[in-house]
Amino acid sequence: MKDAVQSLRRRWQELYSRSSIQMILSLSFTAVAVLGLVGLGLTLFLRFSSSNNTQQAENSQRVLTQVNWNLDAYLRRIMRVSDTAYYSVIKNTDVEDKSLSPALDLLYENNRDSLVSIAVFSQEGGLVADAPLQKLKNSVSPRWEDWFTQATNKIENLHFSTPHVQNLWEDPDQRYRWVVSLSRYVELSRGGSMEGGVLLVDMSFSGIEQICKDVDLAGSGYLYLIDGSGEIIYHPRQQLIYAGLQEENNLAAAGYSDGSHKETFQGSRRQVTVKTVGYTGWKLVGVVPMESLWDNYGQLVLFVLFVLLFSVFLLVFVNLRLSEWITAPVKKLDRAVKDLEARRKDIDFDVGGPYEVEHLSHSLRSMASTMDHLMEDIIQQEEQKRRSELDVLQSQINPHFLYNTLDSVVWMTENGRTQDAVVMLTSLARFFRISLSRGSNVISIGDELEHARHYLTIQKMRYKNKFSAAITAEEGVEGLYTIKLIVQPVLENAIYHGMAYADGDGEVAVRAFREGDDVIIQVTDNGPGMPEEVVERLLDPGGPTALAGAKGSGIGFRNVHQRLRLTFGPAYGLTILSEPDDGTTVRIRLPALDEEAARRYRKEETP
């Protein structure tokens, strides 16, 4: 056995080594596809069979549920008639002083389409009242009837009988009707004392028959109705069963629980669905022979075989062409890779073929191009990084501001204003301490506002209190976090472009407050304002870096806007509201970050 396996393996390896890649692909694809189709066909067939049986069971259950609902509504209507007769008529009438018949006649007329009669009997079986007016047979004793004994034995319940011919009343035409009787024990008031009695409501059996007979189950399926003991109440072949010409498995069905069951009766396999009718204990039984579920399976098998054969033929043809289409570009791509290994120039990577092969050829061409431009890209990236760092440093520390501040300190010292010099130097030291922030790029909004406060202190002393400034913050805002140095560049623009040209006393106001999930830091000045076209240029990355005739480089203002958008997204940044002669308001929008949320934006701090 082992030698045979090894011999077979050697032959397979020899055949594999002699075969072309096109042949291997064709045979492999075809074998896998055929096996897959056969397995899929069998799976679908079995799945369809199971699904069809389940669907038929569900359909039967839905049909029985609808019939049960209709039957339940019909029985509820009769029960309401019984309740009305008892609670609204009998309980409110003394039979010694007043007859029950007029009220029962009215109740009968309102429900005559579903009722045969309504009658009240004494505990001894004597007729008290009835509707419509009829004469009780002399030969009949109601107290020995099954419906009468059921009512008197269990006085707390309503009792439904099986269908029977009601022969209590004299009828000259001998037209006795099939009815289902609803009986209950009642208390009659007679001369101020209470005595027992029985209320009988005969409903027409034709109403139940009409509900059950027009039921459509699959194939030759049918529905019948039994009571709790298995006695047949309705059956489409009821006359044949009563005549002994046909049998039904009703006694076994009485023991089935609600749901679908499989049974074999008289050599025939059947799907039986059972639904219990409320209040009565009756059961609806739906029967569908299994043969009717397989009627269409023969056609399904032929269809599946035809689809499988056609699919196999189509797959063989397609696989031959597909393998040829795949192998040609693969061979061409192999030659191109060898040329790349030899470091040849002008290699042709356009091999065509399937998406994966074409994508691979594009990747190889891209890799070769990337190798040529790699050093140039690295140099450009380093240069761009240095320019970005320079812009950030320039937005943080303005050399002219430092020079002018120190020059003012020297002037104050020479003129004996040492206290003012100390204040300016102290503010300058704290200004730079917050600017550095131990290398962290994220600080609290409180520190950012403190940084702006020191900057304003220095500038107010330099400008000899030409303007006033106020910084306020809504409660809780100072404990949130932001990237640093976003307010000072905006204040610098407000002072250089607003206060320097303001008529009279200038005013600068900084206010920080929450707006939903965001924080707004608003800087307002009462300077000369700007026209709309200037406002649009201020945040334009490609616009000029300064305003004509104004001090300052102007890049810090734009840099703040770009830093906010790069850090938090395009929804954040600066908004400028300004009109000539009406001042300028700059709104800085950033997300409300607590300490935990700020960690993802914080760079590693330097020790």
The pLDDT of residue 543 is 60
How distant, in Å, are the alpha carbons of 300, 328, 404, 546 from that of 549?
89, 70, 19, 9
List of residues 6+ apart from 373 with CB closer than 8 A:
none
List of residues 6+ apart from 324 with CB closer than 8 A:
22
Q: How many residues does the chain have?
A: 607
- The amino acid that residue 352 corresponds to is G
The pLDDT of residue 550 is 45
Nearest to 137 by CA among 102, 164, 161, 172: 172
The pLDDT of residue 551 is 46
**CB count in 10 Å sphere of residue 418:** 11
- Burial (0-12, 13-18, 19+ Cβ within 10 Å), 577: middle
Burial 25-58 (b: 16+ CB within 10 A, else e): bbeebbeebeeebeeebeeeeeeeeeebbeebbe
The pLDDT of residue 589 is 94
Q: Where are the domains of the chain?
A: 93-208, 397-601
State the architecture of 93-208 in CATH terms.
2-Layer Sandwich (3.30)
List the alpha helices (DSSP H) in 342-398: 355-396
Nearest to 512 by CA among 470, 554, 468, 572: 470
The position carrying tokens 């069979």 is 49
Nearest to 219 by CA among 328, 296, 315: 296
Mean pLDDT of the chain: 78
The pLDDT of residue 553 is 44
**Cβ distance 349 to 362 under 8 Å?**
yes
**Alpha-carbon dihedral 213, 215, 219, 225, rounded to 10 degrees:** -60
- How far is residue 296's CA from residue 282's CA, in Å, rounded to a whole number? 34
Any idea which fold 397-601 has?
Answer: Heat Shock Protein 90 (3.30.565)
How distant, in Å, are the alpha carbons of 27, 35, 46, 312, 315 from that of 32?
9, 5, 21, 11, 10
Q: Is 195 helix (H, G, I), strand (E, B) or coil?
A: strand
Residue 99 is inside which H or E element, if any? Answer: none
Beta partners for residue 119, in sequence order: 130, 200
**Cβ distance 480 to 508 under 8 Å?**
no
- How far is residue 416's CA from residue 380's CA, in Å, rounded to a whole number? 53
The position carrying tokens 């639904």 is 275
How distant, in Å, are the alpha carbons of 70, 228, 351, 352, 408 from that of 212?
9, 17, 74, 70, 107
The position carrying tokens 């009815």 is 179
Which residues, given as ranges, of the chain have pLDDT below 70? 1, 12-23, 25, 45, 49, 172-176, 219, 292-301, 324-326, 340, 343, 345-346, 349, 351-357, 368, 371-372, 375-376, 379-400, 437-439, 500-504, 541-556, 603-607
**Cβ distance 590 to 564 under 8 Å?**
yes
DSSP state of 163: P
Q: Is 226 helix (H, G, I), strand (E, B) or coil?
A: strand
